[in-house]
Amino acid sequence: MVECTVWDREVERSSRSTPTTEIMQTKRVSKAILYQDNKILLQLRDNKPTIPNPNTWSLLGGQVIPGETPELCIRREVIEEVNLYPYDFKLITVRKRDEDNMEVEEYIFCAKIYVEATDIATTEGQCVRLFSEEEIKELNLNPIYKEIIYSFLEQK
C-alpha cells in the first residue's frame, strides 16, 4: 500500500494543521502463463468498449479476493475460466502499475498444462487458444501483458 500525507484543513479543530494518512487503494490480481510444448494459452478479451483493452489477446486470471492468496486466486480463476487444473504454478514475477488512480499489484504465474487444444473452452472472453511464438508475434496482444509474454518466450 502507498501512503500519502494529507493536511487537515479544519482550522476549527486545531490552531495548527496536523497530518493525517490517506491510503491509496491497491488492487491485487493474479495472471497465468499456461503453456504446453512451445505454445501459450491466451484468451481473447470481450469486444466491449466499457472494459480495458477490449478485443485483445491476454493472459488468464483475475482479482484476488479478500482472504485469498495470489496462488489460490490463480488456481480459482483458471478453473473458472477454462476448467483446467494445473498443479504446479510457479510465481515468476510480481510487479506494480497504476490504473485509474489505483495501484495494481500483479502476481504472474506460469504452469504447464496437458490438454488437447480442442478440449479447451472458456466461460469468459470470446475464446481461448494455444499459440506458438510465431503466431503470438502476429496477435493484437493486451499491451499490459505483451512484455511479460515476450520475456517468457525468450526464456523458453
pLDDT digit of tens for each residue in the chain (156 aa)?
333 333 333 333 334 444 555 566 899 999 999 999 989 999 999 999 998 899 999 999 999 999 999 999 999 999 999 999 998 999 999 999 998 888 999 999 999 999 887 788 889 999 999 999 999 999 999 999 999 999 999 887
Indicate the pTM of the whole model: 0.80
**Cβ proximity of 93 and 148 under 8 Å:** yes
* CATH 3.90.660.10 is held by the domain 25-155: no
Cα separation, 104 vs 145, whole angstroms? 13
Q: Where are the domains of the chain?
A: 25-155
For residue 122, count other CB atoms closer than 10 A to its CB: 17
Rounded alpha-carbon distances, angstroms, from residue 57 to 65, 68, 137: 24, 26, 11
Going by the DSSP 8-state scheme, the letter that residue 49 receives in this structure is: T
By 3-state DSSP, what share of the chain in percent is helix, strand and coil, each rounded to 5?
Answer: 25, 40, 40
Which pLDDT belongs to residue 120? 87
Check: CB of residue 149 under 8 Å from CB of residue 141: yes
